[in-house]
């Protein structure tokens, strides 16, 4: 690998571009476009600026999940083997039955598949696993990952949990950090961490009048 200044600058430029999806914007409550969030690439390590413990100027980073991607093929497999056989087929016509047996998972059964996967993985590894939508899985039709922890509730799982989950998902890669989808993919989006809370305004006029009457009255000038 070349160590020339040009190659170093190119590498730094690429890294900066990758970070734009999660980098702290200057303006509070600025909403990054979806196209930019979709360019996010999973992180090997969580930078300090993305940890609420090190948040600067009372700014709150987006939600990031640590774990493993779940291939679409495994979600389809759970649907075909665990959920589909339990459906009452007597109410469905032959055409509907045929469509059910082909991926993707129908929308009205998708949560059944996700919740079933969560229970299955949690029991198998002895740790609470959530199956959540994330940015960082381009080309996957479901974009779901098995979350072990996140940057707000950072309880590190034991090594044996990670090894078991790797075996189940058929990967030897280490877990990575993925950007959540939805509103919490943005900075300053957590309602319990409002960096600029609005002053509370009392709607009770009698209360306001009572407070005014309690204030000391200045004597009139003669």
Instruction: Give how far Cα 59 sits from Cα of 65, 101, 193, Å.
Output: 19, 47, 8
Asked whether the beta carbons of 37 and 189 are under 8 A apart, the reply is: no
- Specify the pLDDT at position 90: 81
Question: What average pLDDT does the segment 24-35 reach?
Answer: 92
Structure-model confidence comparison of residues 97 and 136, the more confident one? 136
- Specify the pLDDT at position 197: 41
pTM exceeds 0.85 for this model: no
Closest CA relative to residue 121, chosen from 170, 87, 154 = 170
- Specify the pLDDT at position 200: 37
C-alpha span between 156 and 150 (Å, rounded): 9
Compute φ and ψ for 143, nearest 5 degrees.
Answer: 50, 50
| Number of residues that make up the chain | 222
Contacting residues for 195 by C-beta, under 8 A, at least 6 apart: 28, 57, 58, 59, 60, 188
Structure-model confidence comparison of residues 207 and 49, the more confident one? 49
Residue 116 CB: number of other CB atoms within 10 A?
Answer: 16
Residue 111 CB: number of other CB atoms within 10 A?
Answer: 10
Closest CA relative to residue 24, chosen from 1, 2, 45, 54 = 54
C-alpha span between 45 and 185 (Å, rounded): 18
**pLDDT (tens digit, 9 = 90+) per residue, 91-100?**
777 777 777 8
Per the prediction, the chain carries an average pLDDT of 81
Q: pLDDT category, 54, cuts 50, 70, 90?
A: confident
Question: What average pLDDT does the segment 199-206 reach?
Answer: 42
Structure-model confidence comparison of residues 218 and 87, the more confident one? 87
The residue behind tokens 């940057």 is 151
């Amino acid at each position: 690998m070349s160590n020339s200044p040009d190659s170093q600058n190119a590498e730094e430029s690429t890294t900066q571009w990758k970070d734009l999806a999660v980098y702290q914007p200057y303006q509070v409550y600025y909403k990054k476009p979806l196209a930019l969030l979709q360019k996010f690439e999973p992180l090997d390590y969580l930078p300090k600026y993305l940890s609420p413990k090190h948040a600067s100027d009372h700014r709150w980073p987006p939600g990031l999940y640590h774990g493993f991607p779940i291939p679409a093929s495994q979600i389809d497999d759970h649907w075909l083997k665990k959920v589909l056989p339990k459906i009452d087929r007597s109410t469905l016509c032959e055409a509907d039955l045929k469509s059910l047996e082909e991926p993707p998972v129908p929308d009205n059964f998708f949560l059944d598949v996700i919740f079933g996967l969560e229970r299955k993985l949690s029991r198998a590894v002895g740790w609470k696993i959530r199956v959540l939508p994330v940015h960082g899985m381009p080309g996957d039709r479901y974009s779901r990952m098995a979350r072990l922890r996140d940057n707000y509730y950072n309880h590190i799982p034991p090594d044996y949990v990670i090894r078991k989950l790797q075996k189940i998902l058929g990967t030897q890669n280490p877990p990575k950090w993925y950007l959540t989808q939805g509103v919490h993919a943005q900075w300053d989006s957590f309602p319990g961490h409002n960096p600029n809370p609005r002053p509370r305004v009392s709607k009770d006029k009698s209360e306001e009048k009572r407070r005014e009457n309690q204030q000391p009255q200045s004597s009139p000038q003669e």
